[in-house]
Amino acid sequence: MDILVQTLADGLVIGAFYSLIALGYTMVFGIIKLLNFAHGDLYMLGAFVGYTLLSLLSGSGTGAGLMGIVVVLLLTMVIVGLIGMGIERVAYRPLLLAPRLSILITALGVSLFLENGSMIAWGAQYQVYPLQLSHDGWNVLGAQITYTQMGLVLISALLMLGLHQFISRTLYGKAMRAIAHDQTACHLMGIDVHKVIGLTFFIGASLAAGAGTMAGAYYGTVNFMMGFIIGLKAFTAAVLGGIGSIPGAMLGGLLLGMMETAGTFVFGGSWKDVVAFSLLILILVLRPTGIMGEKVTERM
Amino acid sequence: MSALLKLTDVHSFYGKIEALKGISLEVRQGEIVALLGSNGAGKSTTLKTISGLVRPGSGDIQLEGKSLVGWSPHRIVEEGIVHVPEGRRIFAGLTVHENLELGGFTQRKEKAVIAEGIELAYALFPRLKERSRQLGGTLSGGEQQMLAICRGLMARPKLLMLDEPSMGLAPIIVQEIMEIIRKINGQGTTILLIEQNAKAALRLAHRGYVLETGQIVMENTAEVLRGDESIVKAYLGA
Ligand SMILES: Nc1ncnc2c1ncn2[C@@H]1O[C@H](COP(=O)(O)OP(=O)(O)O)[C@@H](O)[C@H]1O
Ligand SMILES: [Mg+2]
């Protein structure tokens, strides 16, 4: 019992990170049908920007209180969100009408650029996050659940709730869903389609960056390649949930996190990635539309 | 009457194919103008060029004397021209209500205007009100066309352009749509109407243009066009 609860709790934290990253994957795919392979690197960038901001904060002697951490998180999300928007503007927008392969290859190029740029900026070694999170917690049915874990899951849940409200309530959120259906019709409604696509990149990048900062604090170290595997995992989560589906990405991330943690427990830690990617292959073979995905209809 | 919309020698291309070969036409304030012609004549391309989906290779397009050439489509909607496209293009996965809200995107700064527009739409088509929470894709063809027209009206256009609103609909629904178009025009909206069903269009319109392979081959009042033997033969028989 204690093991089951522990697995659930640990899996939920990792799953929340996967969900946050998968959301950007799925939103960008939904709106411009691009698998943005540079998306995992925005998570890495979020971890590093958070790292630098926290270093500045603790360097100034004030220390990073709870307020400080929240401000750093939000500031990181805005900065990386703007970078995500810039990437769309510079790298992807000129290719929106080009064959799909060109934009996919560009995404790989952007990924390499971000990874190597970060290596130059922050070094190739692992950096220790300038933040110590509490290891205290509650004993639930024999399992140890830390306040940190609860806090991270709570922040992730709030971010996803905010996104859900935005998508379902605001006119720009509705425009995002509409563009995923029919871009030409959106032009004819007077919607500035490029602006909405830019906004989608902003939101996707900032959610990934939020996950990056939280993961940096949770695991304690960051590295310029940390976005690579987790980007593929988030892609798996998005496919599991049904690529293009926002609730699907949230669900897919959580499920993947828990299955992976359970798999680690059963097979051992070295099998973690095998479990995740076997799952990806299974879904692609058995149910390519994922849990909540619809059949992708080609728009004209 | 002054010209609301004026096209002067407009040429449009799809790659190397010249779909419009020098179109000149005008739509005056308060009119219903019909654009007739057989399949592939360039009717839809004319509307796409006016709404900015297709950029003209040369020629001028003016709304109230201001040139719109080179503007992006959303700016043209803001300026007062709305294009309800062929095939309606309802957002199938969004509710009827959300479809209407998006039609009012250019009015987004004033929530009251959007709410009022939606009420007007529901008054015009009570059936849409009953289905306001349903997904657009679940509507019948006739209902989708009504939704498409109402969605277009949400932007409060000076000029409403309708591309084959009767396509694929039962005759009784076609009649209902035509009546609504007349009503919308009566309330002060100028209309440019494309129709395969020339007979129905000319009953409604004040004037008409006939297009053939990208050129205007005839223009006159609806009355004269209705009486023209060749037109009746070529386009009214259908
Ligand atoms: N997207 C397109 N690409 C290439 N040619 C097109 C395209 N759309 C229309 N055409 C061509 O342009 C001409 C005019 O088409 P269109 O304006 O749709 O005619 P209509 O609406 O009168 O039936 C036709 O010859 C058609 O084949
Ligand atoms: Mg047509």
Check: CB of residue B37 under 8 Å from CB of residue B49.
Answer: no
Interface residue B82 vs chain A (CB under 8 A): yes
User: Rounded to an integer, what distance in angstroms lies between the CA atom of residue A136 and that of residue B95?
Assistant: 47
A69's tokens? 């951490």
Q: What angle do CA A281, A210, A132 make, to 5 degrees?
A: 110
Interface residue B78 vs chain A (CB under 8 A): yes
Q: Which residues of A34-66 are buried (b: 16+ CB within 10 A; e: fewer)?
A: bbbbbbbbbbbbbbbbbbbbbeebeeeeeebee
Instruction: Provide mean pLDDT across the span A286-295.
Output: 80
Q: Identify whether A273 is part of a domain.
A: no
Check: CB of residue B135 under 8 Å from CB of residue B92.
Answer: yes
Tell me chain A's radius of gyration from C-alpha atoms: 19
Of B84, B91, B98, the CB nearest to A182: B91
Closest residue by Cα to residue A42 from A276, A200, A201, A248: A201
Interface residue B30 vs chain A (CB under 8 A): no
Q: What is the pLDDT of residue B238?
A: 45
CB contact under 8 A, A188 and B83: yes
Q: What is the pLDDT of residue A60?
A: 63
Q: What is the pLDDT of residue A135?
A: 82
CB contact under 8 A, A171 and B101: yes
Nearest atom (ligand 1) to Cα of B86: 21
User: Rounded to an integer, what distance in angstroms lies between the CA atom of residue B29 and that of residue B51?
Assistant: 18
ipTM of the complex: 0.93
Burial status of residue B86 (CB atoms within 10 A of its CB: 0-12, 13-18, 19 or more)? middle
According to DSSP, the residues that pair with A222 across neighbouring strands are A127
Inter-CA distances, B64 with A246, B2, B72, B77, Å = 44, 8, 18, 14
End-to-end C-alpha distance for chain B, whole angstroms: 33
Average pLDDT over chain B, rounded to an integer: 94
Please tell me the distance in Å from A117's CA to the nearest CA on chain B: 36
Q: What is the pLDDT of residue A57?
A: 85
Lowest mean pLDDT among A140-149, A157-166, A238-247: A140-149
Inter-CA distances, B167 with A111, B85, B144, Å = 47, 11, 11
CB atoms within 10 A of CB B216: 21
Q: What is the pLDDT of residue A298?
A: 39
List chain A residues with CB under 8 Å of B106.
189-190
User: Rounded to an integer, what distance in angstroms lies between the CA atom of residue B178 and that of residue A18?
Assistant: 53
List chain A residues with CB under 8 Å of B157.
none
Q: What is the pLDDT of residue B223?
A: 92
Inter-CA distances, A285 with A230, A259, A289, B130, Å = 22, 18, 10, 42
End-to-end C-alpha distance for chain A, whole angstroms: 53
Q: Identify whether A122 is part of a domain.
A: yes
Residue nearest atom 16 of ligand 1, based on CA coordinates: B42
Say if ligand 1 is within 6 A of residue B36 CB.
no
Interface residue A191 vs chain B (CB under 8 A): yes
How far does residue B85's CA lie from ligand 2's centre (Å)? 9
Check: CB of residue A191 under 8 Å from CB of residue A173.
Answer: no
pTM of the model: 0.92
Residue A62 has pLDDT above 70, yes or no: no
Structural element, H or E, at residue A221: strand A221-222
Say if ligand 1 is within 6 A of residue B45 CB.
yes
Please tell me the distance in Å from A175's CA to the nearest CA on chain B: 7
**On the CB side of A123, how many CA atoms lie within 13 Å of its CA?**
8
**How many domains is chain A partitioned into structurally?**
1
Please tell me the distance in Å from B233's CA to the nearest CA on chain A: 34
The DSSP output letter for A36 is -
The ligand with the least distance to the CA atom of B13 is 1
Residues 6+ apart with CB under 8 A from A262: A7, A11
Residue A157 has pLDDT above 90, yes or no: yes
Please tell me the distance in Å from A168's CA to the nearest CA on chain B: 10
Q: Identify whether A230 is part of a domain.
A: no
Q: Identify whether A259 is part of a domain.
A: no
Please state, for a pLDDT cut of 70, what percent of chain A lies above it. 96
Check: CB of residue B68 under 8 Å from CB of residue B158.
Answer: no
Instruction: Provide mean pLDDT across the span A135-164.
Output: 91
Q: Considering only residues 43 to 72 of chain B, which have any Cβ-Cβ distance to chain A shorter than 8 Å?
A: 51-53, 72
> Range of A185's domain?
2-225
List chain B residues with CB under 8 Å of A191.
74, 102, 105
Closest residue by Cα to residue B201 from B230, B181, B227, B224: B181
Beta-strand pair B58-63/B215-221: unpaired
According to DSSP, the residues that pair with A31 across neighbouring strands are none
Q: What is the pLDDT of residue A265?
A: 86
User: Rounded to an integer, what distance in angstroms lies between the CA atom of residue B21 and that of residue B35?
Assistant: 16
Residue nearest atom 18 of ligand 1, based on CA coordinates: B44
In chain B (238 residues long), the average pLDDT of successive 10-residue segments reads 91 97 97 94 97 97 96 97 96 96 96 95 94 95 96 97 94 92 96 90 94 95 86 61
Q: Identify whether A266 is part of a domain.
A: no
Q: Identify whether A205 is part of a domain.
A: yes
Interface residue A299 vs chain B (CB under 8 A): no
Interface residue B224 vs chain A (CB under 8 A): no
Instruction: Provide mean pLDDT across the span A242-261.
Output: 93
Check: CB of residue A235 under 8 Å from CB of residue A25.
Answer: yes
Q: Identify whether A263 is part of a domain.
A: no
* Torsion angle, alpha carbons of B53, B57, B58, B64, to 10: 10
In three-state secondary structure terms, A37 is coil
DSSP codes of every residue in chain B:
--EEEEEEEEEEEETTEEEEEEEEEEEETT-EEEEE--TTSSHHHHHHHHTTSS--SEEEEEETTEE-TT--HHHHHHHTEEEE-TT----TTSBHHHHHHHHTGGGTT-HHHHHHHHHHHHHH-HHHHHTTTSBGGGS-HHHHHHHHHHHHHTT--SEEEEE-TTTT--HHHHHHHHHHHHHHHHTT-EEEEE-S-HHHHHHH-SEEEEEETTEEEEEEEHHHHHH-HHHIIIII--
Interface residue A175 vs chain B (CB under 8 A): yes
Residue type, A224: F
Check: CB of residue B50 under 8 Å from CB of residue B161.
Answer: yes
Q: Identify whether A247 is part of a domain.
A: no
Residue A61 has pLDDT above 70, yes or no: no
Say if ligand 1 is within 6 A of residue B19 CB.
yes
CB contact under 8 A, B73 and A171: no
Spell out the alpha helix ranges (H) of A88-225: 100-122, 147-169, 171-181, 183-188, 193-219
